[in-house]
Structure 1
């Protein structure tokens, strides 16, 4: 596990380093070019966690996109170990909410036969965003990046082993920590625009099942999901 004072992006650094293997972690106290899913910038506030790790893909592994659920389960377990937070839930596929505010998120990027998983967690402060509510763990406990890093690394190693050995069990753990079946969701899914429906669980490959008002179930494999109706 390596800490640096400042970098552009921990994901980019690991992806560009061919010697970075599975289990390696890079944590930056400040990240100047952090990014999230859907091409968004990730605001890296002082005292928050910004770190990435590597998964070396094996021929027998589940499909790489299902690592998103693995990251989500590891993230919520690490936060639960760090602080007695209540109201933690996972939003598909791997956003972590505290109450209704986004506490953390994960960006997965493929680099050949490796996947780089970048984690961002608002430990100290929550950036103000125009399009979504945010939250910080400091509202319930003070946790430093140095204290959080080994908790996340241990949780990720444990869930990565579960992902390889029993993916259905991993999905069950994700569902236990996620928004309940029937929760209203709004999905921004490319050419389809914004679609409203209710959470109807997961497909066998981890895709989101969205039950439309008509009763039809739409399977979502890539989209921006928000809780509630638009």
Structure 2
């Protein structure tokens, strides 16, 4: 089935646009791609640099009564993009960092932002294809810098939309288990040192001990206790 993709030359934020369209009843499955964003946003209110040549897109999922927890769509998005990137780079080079950043040798390749509007979850994806920013707090990279060649953002999105639709169907039909299995296979391995900056301003350090049944990150602290993290900014140590 051909994906429902709308492409526009420029906008402030594809997520903001889809939040507005969600209120007007647009159906699940719509993808909005901008060739350039002037007000791109990342998690924790970060600005997302948006030069032409990268992928800036958002899609909408309409929640149904028996869907798994909406927050676990972050994991669905992560593995869909990981699988799509794996068609252009060796999949074992690309690591998922909780919940849905993609890293290559520790450098950020892709970030995502999920926002809720009524019964809709808006999933925004920013993938560095041709360019990557010089970030003050973490390294970044792009598909081009990793040797993937010249990939058009529109072409990549057509591939991604099909993969995401398949994983969304699995999420609805089989629950979180297969999503969690794929995610753990391609994430930072158990025992990886992590630092978590939490929404209340506190910081925790420990080692990665997996995901709980709801997709929360389990951090094992130095005192032997485990802490479930449902929201936060995670750094590899």
Residue in structure 2 matched with residue 55 of structure 1 by the alignment: 61
* Mapped partners of 2:151, 2:105: distance in 1: 18
Partner of 1:80: 86
Distance 1:155 1:161, change over 3 A: same
Alpha-carbon distance change, 103 to 95 in structure 1, aligned in 2, over 3 angstroms: same
* 8 Å contact kept, 1:45–1:127: no
Change in Cα spacing, 1:181 to 1:86, as seen in structure 2 (3 Å) is closer
Which of 189, 210, 225 is matched with 1:201 structurally? 210
User: What is the rounded CA distance, in whole Å, between the counterparts of 2:170 and 2:184 in structure 1?
Assistant: 15
Which residue, out of 148, 158, 182, partners 1:150?
Answer: 158
Structure 1 contact 82–148 (Cα < 8 Å) conserved: no
Structure 1, unaligned runs of 5 or more = none
Which whole-Å CA distance do the structure 2 matches of 1:180 and 1:187 have between them? 16
Deviations 1:132-178 (A, max 9, x none): 11011102112110111111101111111111122111101100110
Checking the alignment, whether the CA contact within 8 Å between 2:82 and 2:91 is kept in structure 1 is: no
Q: 1:4 and 1:135 mapped to 2: Cα distance? A: 25
Matched, 1:227 2:231: no
Tell me how many residue pairs correspond in the alignment.
Answer: 228
Report the Cα distance in structure 2 between the residues aligned to 1:46 and 1:71, rounded to whole angstroms. Answer: 22
Q: 1:48, 1:145 within 8 Å by CA — same for their partners in 2?
A: yes
Listed as ranges, the gaps of 5+ residues in structure 2 are: none
Q: Residue 181 of structure 1 is aligned with which of 179, 185, 190?
A: 190
SS in 1 for 2:50: coil
TM-score normalised over the length of structure 1: 0.96
* SS of 1:152 mapped into structure 2: helix
In the alignment, the residues of structure 2 paired with residue 98 and residue 85 of structure 1 have an alpha-carbon distance, to the nearest angstrom, of 10
What is the alpha-carbon root mean square deviation over aligned residues?
1.1
Does 2:200 correspond to 1:191? yes
TM-score by length of 2: 0.93
* CA distance in structure 2 between the partners assigned to 1:19 and 1:145 by the alignment: 27
